[in-house]
Amino acid sequence: MSDKDETCENGLSPDALRATTLDAQICFALYSASSRMTKLYRPLLEPLGLTYPQYIAMLALWEKAPRSVGSLKEALGLDFGTLSPLLKRLEAQGLVDRRRDPKDERRVIVDLTEAGRALRVSASKVPEEIVCRVGLPRETMVSLREALRQLNAALDENGAPKA
C-alpha cells in the first residue's frame, strides 16, 4: 500500500471533506455518462447485430487476431464469466471461431471468420457518427480523454488492480 493510505485513516482535511460530495458527483456522472454513451451506440450497432460489449470485443479482435480469451480479458477488463458466453454468441453469429491452443490445451484461441473481418467495413462508420451525435467541440473531447486517462492510470496504481 502506498503512503497515500496513511492520510486516509485519521482526520480528514477540509479539502477531503469537501471532496466527499465531489466524489459522489464524479462517480455518478461517470456511471451515468457511461451508460448513456452505450445507449447512444445501441441504434448504430443494432444493424450490425452487435451489442456494445460485443462491439468492443470485435474492436480488440480487429486490432489483433487470433488471440486467446485471456488476452481479450486483459485488453477489455472483462471477466471470463462475461467473455465466455459473449464469445459464444459471436461464434453463433459466425463472426469468430474458437479452438483450443494445441501448444497449451488450457487456452482457447479466438479468431475472426471471413464474416467477422467483413463486418469491420460497416463498423468503421460508427465512431464518426458517435462523435457527431455527441456534438462536443474537439478540445472538450480531448480534455475529457485526458481526465479519464489520469483516472484510469490512478485506478491501475491504486485500488483497482488490473481488471
Which residues are near its own copies by CB under 8 A? Answer: 2, 4-5, 7-8, 12, 15-17, 19-41, 52, 56, 59, 77, 127-136, 138, 140-145, 147-152, 154-155, 157-160, 163
> For residue 57, with 0-12 CB atoms within 10 Å meaning exposed, 13-18 middle and 19 or more buried, which class applies?
buried
Give the one residue of 44, 54, 61, 119 binding DNA; rule: CB under 7 A: 54
Contact (Cβ atoms closer than 8 angstroms) between residue 109 and residue 67: yes
111 binds DNA (CB under 7 A): no
Residue number, 73 or 117, with CB nearest to DNA: 73
Give CA 130 to chain center in angstroms: 16
Smallest separation (angstroms) from DNA to the CB of 160: 9
Stretch (H or E) spanning 83:
helix 80-92
